[in-house]
Amino acid sequence: QVIGAMQGLQKLAGPQRMLMIGDSKLISYANLAAMTAAGVGFIAPASKQYVSAATLAGQEIATATRVDYVAARDEGKPAGRRGVWHVREDDMTLAGPRKKDPVLALRQVFVHSSARAQAAEAARAKKLERARDDLARLERGLGSRHYPTEQAVADRITAIGRARRVSAYLTAETGTDPGTGKPTLAWRFDQQVVDAEAATDGWYALLTNLPPETTGAEQVLRHYKGQEAVERRYQAFKGPLAVTSLYLKNNRRIAALITVICLALLIFCLIERQVRQALAACGQTKVDGLYAGRPAVPTGKLVLDALAGIRLIPGTGQSPPTIPQPTDLQLHLLDLLDIDPRDIR
């Protein structure tokens, strides 16, 4: 009994690893070396400085594993319209800036998102089309007061490439017609460069030090995609709670203010959680009339906005407290929250 209890307690009280999930700025040798030395797990996307575009272009979906993952934005869509995710894994090493720095062994999980690939393709087609329109307009204006010289045409081409973000594809030659003295222009998009970029559509790499025995490539992706739940709370922190700069005299007051703000954020999140759980118990996900008179998934902000106009008349003598003229939406939300504001105990 003693040994069994001891082992059970060890499992309950055993040390828990810390996992840091961030954006590409998390990836640097100094950061990764420090986290590895401290036994902290990490997941972050690699910038092109660490995983080149050529490496991403060399990935093939045929050699990747499809992940049974549905993005939050796709949950209400038919299966055929949902994004599809694939992962494949490889190893990499990262050397430090000094020779004596230890070489870090990392896992790189290559991820392909069909939704991301479609978005990249659509964005590229859109910017190429806009650049074509600008260049066609430039061609029609050659020799006009706006583009009287070769230099003016060259400057405009540079501006188009920068504004439409097509400088990598655009090849242009300018000159001057010896007969008329007007500037000339010949341009094209380098299809090889376009195709090379298209080969990377949908692909990105996640770097991690989590052991593959406990965290497979699919789980690495799930951990990374779970970051958006935390990001939503940052959004609430800066948005509905309207946290802004405030100068305080000492660190104790700073810590106290942060504590109060975090308590407010906790209550804000619990309100959202309670309404969603009550809806789920009824087999629903949206509240009718919650957003601009239309059904919407409840958020803390939408719930508080809907309840902002509610009034309470305190009881006097034998008269109980009353809520004058509550709306159907307000009453529904109070039921979902299991709250009666007239109960002031």
Q: What is the mean pLDDT of residues 253-275?
A: 91
Give the pLDDT score at 344.
61
Max avg pLDDT among 10-19, 206-215, 248-257, 318-327: 206-215
pLDDT tens-place string over residues 208-227: 999 999 899 999 999 999 88
The pair of three-digit structure tokens given for residue 285, joined into one six-digit string = 């996900």
- Could you read off the pLDDT of 36-78 as tens digits, one per residue? 888 889 999 999 999 999 999 999 999 999 999 888 788 778 8
At residue 324's C-alpha, the angle toward residues 320 and 325, to 5°, is 145
Strands (E), the chain: 19-21, 41-45, 65-67, 85-94, 104-113, 170-176, 183-189, 203-208, 287-291, 294-296
pLDDT digits (tens, 9 = 90+) for 237-246: 888 887 777 7
Confidence of residue 11 (pLDDT cuts 50, 70, 90): confident
pTM of the model as a whole: 0.74
| Band of pLDDT at residue 345, cut at 50, 70 and 90 | low
Those residues with Cβ within 8 angstroms of residue 230's Cβ, 6 or more apart along the chain or in another chain: 21
Question: Quick one: CA dihedral 265, 271, 273, 274, positive or negative?
Answer: positive
DSSP H helix total and E strand total for the chain: 11, 10
Q: Sorting pLDDT into bands at 50, 70 and 90, what band is 258?
A: confident
Q: What is the pLDDT of residue 2?
A: 77
User: What per-residue confidence (pLDDT) applies to 277?
Assistant: 94
Which stretch, 79-88, 124-133, 255-264, has highest mean pLDDT?
A: 124-133
For 283-295, write each residue's pLDDT tens digit.
888 999 999 889 9
| Mean pLDDT to the nearest integer, 114-118 | 94
Mean of per-residue pLDDT scores for the chain: 90
pLDDT, one tens digit per residue, over 296-312 is 999 999 999 999 988 88
Rounded mean pLDDT, 7-13: 80
Cβ neighbours for 244, distance < 8 A, ≥ 6 positions apart: none
